[in-house]
Amino acid sequence: MTRRRWIADEVTGNTAALVGEHAAHLARVLRAEVGQEFDIATGEDVRRGTITTISYDRIEFALGAKQRLRLRSAAPKISLALAIFKFDRMDWAIEKCTEIGVTRIIPVIARRTDAHLASAAVKRRERWQRIVRQAAEQSRRSAPPEIAAPVKLKGLESDGVLAGDALRVVLAESLAGSEGDTRLGEVLQSHSFGVQTEDEVMLAVGPEGGWADGELTWFYDTGWVAASLGDTILRAETAAVVATALAFDALH
């Protein structure tokens, strides 16, 4: 039977710990006991961990042997610039994109982002960080994706997202069904990715109603390629998941 994986909050030598709400979930909800064994991701590797002490805000593990992991190709690097939309649906998109393998998520305050959501996004970041940690553990990743601080669209450039030779694609639903429609799959297939890839794909997914015309102009002027996901208009959270899955498959 596969052991559950936890991502350690603290690691010192051969000891690791979960703290705060992270520990409380294992202690209260899963009723952990001293002596139970789990896989513990330490940041450098995954090791067998045996619970030595339990409290409701701290659980400590004695770390044992490194676990043999299934051989995989170099981890794809997928960044997702995700326009902020209704939080319950955005939470779901962040969770599922984490399970698929996204490396970084940048919440973006778009022109069509509700003002209340934009102002609340900074405080929401802590919740998003918990969501990606839990999703990473559930999907047996060794580390969660980074959740960047929310930025306005033009802040993507200063945030370093436009640096390097990454393939940058903005999803523009206004292209769907048009003569100039270029599908995301076609864009990814036409790009040459390395075998031992250090390549990165950056995807920008707009809010409900899509990116405003002025925002699309900014994307084009700063070197992004426009693509659609087909003839139908997808909800923002669906578009984020589909686009991430396509990019992940292309990088493999």
pLDDT tens for residues 190-199? Answer: 876 654 456 7
Is residue 57 located within the same domain as residue 98? Answer: no
Do 22 and 4 meet the contact criterion of CB atoms below 8 Å apart?
Answer: no
Asked, for residue 72, whether it belongs to a domain, the answer is: no
Each residue's pLDDT tens digit, 98-147: 999 999 999 999 999 999 999 999 999 999 999 999 999 988 888 899 99
CA proximity to 151, closest of 165, 142, 137, 161? 161
Do 62 and 85 fall within a single domain?
A: no
Tokens, residue 189:
């297939």
For the chain, how many structural domains are there in total?
2
Q: What pLDDT score was predicted for residue 196?
A: 47
Q: Is residue 56 in some structural domain?
A: yes
Does one domain contain both 9 and 57? yes
Give the pLDDT confidence of 169-223 residue by residue, as tens digits.
Answer: 999 865 555 545 788 888 888 876 654 456 789 999 999 888 998 999 999 998 8
Q: Half-sphere exposure of residue 134, counting CA atoms within 13 Å on the CB side?
A: 16
Question: What is the average pLDDT across 28-34?
Answer: 88
Mode of pairing for the β-strands spanning 37-41 and 15-19: unpaired
- Cα–Cα distance list, 194 to 184, 191, 200 (Å): 19, 10, 10
pLDDT of residue 28: 86
pLDDT value, residue 142: 85
Asked if residues 107 and 150 have their Cβ atoms less than 8 Å apart, the reply is: yes
Q: Does 47 have pLDDT greater than 70? A: yes
- What pTM did the predictor assign? 0.82
% of the chain beyond a pLDDT of 90: 51
In angstroms, the CA 170 to CA 202 distance is 8
Are 19 and 111 members of one domain?
A: no
Q: Is the dihedral angle over the CA atoms 193, 196, 199, 200 positive or is it negative?
A: positive
Check pLDDT > 70 for residue 50. Answer: yes
Residue 151: left (phi > 0), alpha (psi -120 to 50), or beta?
beta
At residue 159 the predicted structure's pLDDT band, cuts being 50, 70 and 90, is low
Structural domain harbouring 121: 77-251
For residue 30, pLDDT over 60 is answered with yes
Tens-digit pLDDT profile for residues 52-111: 999 989 999 999 888 776 545 456 789 999 999 999 999 999 999 999 999 999 999 999
Q: Give the residue among 203, 245, 240, 200 at the shortest CA–CA distance from 224.
A: 203
- Is residue 100 a contact partner of residue 144, using CB atoms and an 8 Å limit? no
Domain check: are 110 and 61 in the same one? no
CA quadruple 13, 76, 216, 124: dihedral, nearest 10: -30
Residue 19 pLDDT grade (very low, low, confident, very high; cuts 50, 70, 90): very high
